[in-house]
Amino acid sequence: MSERHERNLRAGTACLVSSLVALLLYKMGWLAGFDNAGLEWMESLRSPKLTSRVLELSALGSLPVLVMIGMITVLYLYARGEQKTTARVFFIMVSAEIVAYTAKHLVARTRPEEFFAPGVESSIGSDLNVSFPSGHSMMSATIYLCIAILLHKAAESRNPRRVLAGAAIALIGLIGLSRVYLGVHNPSDVLAGWLGGVGWTLLWFGFFSARDQRARVEAP
């Protein structure tokens, strides 16, 4: 296994374990102060104009938008004849949504409704009463990181790769922060979503790459 593949596997595993630690800390009640402080600080920054812009930003992590972006990515890969990559990316995206949905309903943490920003109901979607982990954060991390990895592999020089990595991190980060600003998620919900999405994506990309390398080595 190459060093890069091993690094992805380790990083993915570490992120997923960290998301489980966040869940444990929440269940033990150790994150209440952290969550309230984050929500109160974000609430102090609100203004009608800024809230309007943040709602637009948050929409980039909504399920309809992410499904559209995911389908465009999958169809593009398929049109290029990359059936193996198409199947893998589709699996990562769909399985991440299943994991996020299942986790939210198993944990069944209620949203911090006392911090809801005006007009925020339209950004919540169907999961009105469950919040851990943040679906926007986990799925935006999964899908935008998938796209960044694919573009990273296609880029021939180091500078575009750095730009892609920076853009993906910034977008994923801003979407997560928008959920706390709008008061629909606790900071720990978002943190767990980030860790879950990044961990799930890196783990599977590392696993598939390692398997491909092993197959090449064993081929006659």
Q: Which domains occur in the chain, in start order?
A: 3-218 (1.20.144)
* pLDDT at res. 214: 75
- Return averaged pLDDT per consecutive 10 residues of the chain, 220 residues in all: 74 93 93 94 93 91 91 90 90 94 91 86 65 93 91 67 81 94 94 96 89 71
- List the Cα angle 146/150/151 in 5-degree steps: 115
* pLDDT at res. 22: 94
Q: How many CA atoms lie within 13 A of 29 on its CB side?
A: 0
Count Cβ atoms below 10 Å from residue 5 Cβ, excluding itself: 19
* pLDDT at res. 157: 60
Instruction: Give the separation between CA 121 and CA 139, rounded to whole angstroms.
Output: 19
* pLDDT at res. 203: 93
The pLDDT tens digits for 175-192 are 999 999 999 999 999 999
The pLDDT tens digits for 118-145 are 877 756 655 567 889 999 999 999 999 9
Question: Is the overall model pTM greater than 0.85, yes or no?
Answer: yes
* pLDDT at res. 130: 85
* pLDDT at res. 1: 52
Q: Which residues contact 175 (CB under 8 A, 6 or more apart)?
A: 57, 58, 60, 61, 136, 137, 140
Asked if residue 66 lies in contact with residue 140, where contact means CB atoms within 8 angstroms, the answer is yes
Residues in the chain: 220
